[in-house]
Amino acid sequence: MKRFLCLILALAMAFGAAAFAENAEGDPLETILSGMTLRDKVAQMMIASFRVWQEVPPEGEDMPEEEPPRENITQLNDEIRDMVSRNHFGGILLFGQNIVDAEQTLRLIADFQATNQAGGGLPQIVFTDQEGGNVNRIPYGTQGISNMALGATGETENARAMAAIFGEELGLLGIQADFAPVVDVNNNPNNPVIGIRSFSDDPQTAAAFGKAYIQGLHDAGILSTAKHFPGHGDTDTDSHTGAPVIDKTYEELKECELIPFQAAIDAGTDMIMTAHIQYPQIETGTYTSISTGESIFLPATMSRTILTDILRGDMGFDGVIVTDALDMKAIADHFAVEDTVRLTIGAGVDMLIVPPVTDTNVFRLVQTYVDTAVALVESGEIDESRIDESVLRILKLKQKYSILDLTDFAVTEEKIAAAQAGVGSAAHRDAEWQMAEKALTVYKNENGAFPLDVKAGEKTLILFADSCASRAGAGDLARQLLEERQALPEGAEIVVMKSTADNEEECIQAAVDADHVILVHRVYNLACLDPATDDGFSSGTFDKIIPAVHDAGKTVIVVSCQLPYDATRFPDADAVLLTYWGSAMRELPAEGASWSANLPAGLLACFDVCGAEGTSPVDLPALDDQYKPAKE
């Protein structure tokens, strides 16, 4: 084994020496480029991810009666090693399935890099999505309070500090790039995918916080990625599951959606990620869907008008353009692989996030992407000069962050200790908690309802709607934190319950019997507001609890733990508190486990232990009789 590692290191160092031998007549990056094969170059434009391994028959063949086992990819198997060593992908993207603990993460990344270089490849950029809030991939790291919560603090310095924390933790693990920040303007309450990932529905606010976030990542030496260009906020369709359309003109985008992206460019963002969204008033080119046979407009990811003419030409971006994942249904359901490759590269994309491996059929598909790109260049359908242009941008980015200098991927005890101490550290989590407090927003407070005035021996009910039943452990955590702080009077009791389809009467009675009532509600789509839907029946229960508690002479606090659009859903609640996020917590977390601070801080604020200083960064429209935001 030692001889094998020494061989890897020797090959890597030899390759690095050759690559960086400066030619007196030219740029060292041009020298590297000239020594690359066509396959090396197109693979440099690919970002691969290996999430789950499952041995399945090739497409068209029957699955066995017993489904093959699925295993999260936390270490490389022989097939992945072979693919990486042959293809020399420009980047590797890590997901939650890849990550167990600090030592395992360090060793997985080192194995990717050493395997790639042993096959003659350049050091890879290692990416992940560490946005904070509901999108984060490091389960043992600092979770972050969500961009919308950062916006609610009103202080851009919090975005810079939060991003710097993420950046420091990523760097300790060997991850060089963050697919963040989201700078989409969440100007459509019906949006099913952006929501609390956005700083605000105001473009200037989103711009200011996005700029600060980029600065924070750069403070920590981490590559930043502004997404999703030219804007995913004003759509009611998720491009993971459908093909969204935004029917706006270029002038309209310039007045809103493009403002944060221009600020990100001015702030020096390294990369910009595309949106798989159709803009028929801007890109009029069409394509016949391979699944429906219908004519659809080319999405931004495939639009030369949007990516080259607007993003590069008008807005002056000279960094790396990266696609969103190409397995998303807005692309995979409508475009053949050959056309996906041809159109994205032709539009001006520099790096493609190829479909993440979730079984051996997708594994074979990843190889198809590389082979197809090579074939398209060899046939003349893609000019090799276009490939060279992108590869030079990628090399320039790697040079800027000293990634091309990497040769030693040994995982030392010092690296492990540093990662274990720094990732999810107490100092980072304390900073997160303080930001969560600053974000808490008292939307409404009548009848002295907030904060509670709990007397000795009194009972407080914390009732979680079914839509946030997976967060009910936050109630137990709040009780534990209150006890640790000795913040409850003698004999005071906290009862935590979950609303279900079968216990409505029990919930109503428990609320009437309690001295104080906190109702925790979660909106992850607008159906959560409608009592007639599977996602929203608990809101109907809450509608009955509030007047019943009032009849008993007591008050009700509603705590919102994701999208804040439920602030107007319960107009008769005495107080409404917005927290902007609550991570899954089915039970009391184990000692040392990582969890987001938003909801626990909000619950403590109800007991007057935390402050609540925030202001909602989005307008909260009244609802119509269909429980949807009323149109002006």
Predicted confidence (pLDDT) per residue in 14-28, tens digit: 444 344 334 435 789
Q: What is the CATH number of the domain that holds 580?
A: 3.40.50.1700
Annotate 21-62 with DSSP letters as a single string: ---TTS-HHHHHHHTS-HHHHHHHTEEE-B-EE---PPTTSP
The answer to whether 88 is a known catalytic residue is no
pLDDT of amino acid 8: 40
Residue 63, pLDDT above cutoff 90: no
Q: Give the residues across from 229 on adjacent strands.
A: 274
Distance in angstroms (rounded) separating the CA atoms of residues 605 and 610:
4
Q: Is residue 345 within 8 Å of residue 387, measured between CB atoms?
A: yes
Identified catalytic residue from 101, 111, 219, 240: 240
Residues 6+ apart with CB under 8 A from 459: 492, 493, 494, 495, 513, 514, 515, 516
Same domain, 10 and 104: yes
Cα end-to-end span (Å), the chain: 69
Question: Mean pLDDT over residues 123-144, rounded?
Answer: 96
Write the DSSP symbol of residue 620: -
Tokens standing for 496? 């935590």
Same domain, 417 and 448: no
The answer to whether 184 is a known catalytic residue is no
Distance in angstroms (rounded) separating the CA atoms of residues 411 and 107:
6
pLDDT of amino acid 22: 41
Number of folded domains in the chain? 2
Q: Is residue 627 within 8 Å of residue 529, measured between CB atoms?
A: yes
pLDDT of amino acid 31: 95
Does some domain include residue 616?
no
Q: Is residue 614 within 8 Å of residue 154, measured between CB atoms?
A: yes
Distance in angstroms (rounded) separating the CA atoms of residues 164 and 515:
43
Same domain, 317 and 463: no
Does some domain include residue 625?
no
Predicted confidence (pLDDT) per residue in 184-240, tens digit: 999 888 776 799 999 999 999 999 999 999 999 999 999 999 999 999 887 766 556
Distance in angstroms (rounded) separating the CA atoms of residues 559 and 443:
10
Does some domain include residue 629?
no
pLDDT of amino acid 322: 98
Does some domain include residue 258?
yes
- Reduce the secondary structure of 163-217 to three states and give it as a string: HHHHHHHHHHHCCCEECCCECCCCCCCCCCCCHHHCCCCCHHHHHHHHHHHHHHH
Predicted confidence (pLDDT) per residue in 403-420, tens digit: 999 999 999 999 999 999
pLDDT of amino acid 273: 98
pTM equals: 0.94
Identified catalytic residue from 178, 324, 339, 574: 324
Domain that holds residue 268: 2-61+74-422
Predicted confidence (pLDDT) per residue in 322-380, tens digit: 999 999 999 999 999 999 999 999 999 999 999 999 999 999 999 999 999 999 999 99
Predicted confidence (pLDDT) per residue in 583-592, tens digit: 999 999 988 8
pLDDT of amino acid 21: 38
Distance in angstroms (rounded) separating the CA atoms of residues 271 and 265:
9
Question: Mean pLDDT over residues 294-321, rounded?
Answer: 97
Average pLDDT of the residues of the chain: 93
Q: What is the CATH number of the domain that holds 149?
A: 3.20.20.300
Residue in this structure with the two tokens 């900073």, named with its chain if needed: 431
Residue in this structure with the two tokens 């000692």, named with its chain if needed: 591
Same domain, 498 and 564: yes
The alpha carbon dihedral of 366, 368, 370, 376 has a sign of negative
Question: Mean pLDDT over residues 550-565, rounded?
Answer: 97
Same domain, 380 and 521: no
Same domain, 345 and 470: no
Does some domain include residue 626?
no
Residue 38, pLDDT above cutoff 80: yes
Does some domain include residue 320?
yes
Residues 6+ apart with CB under 8 A from 72: 51, 52, 53, 97, 98
Does some domain include residue 453?
yes
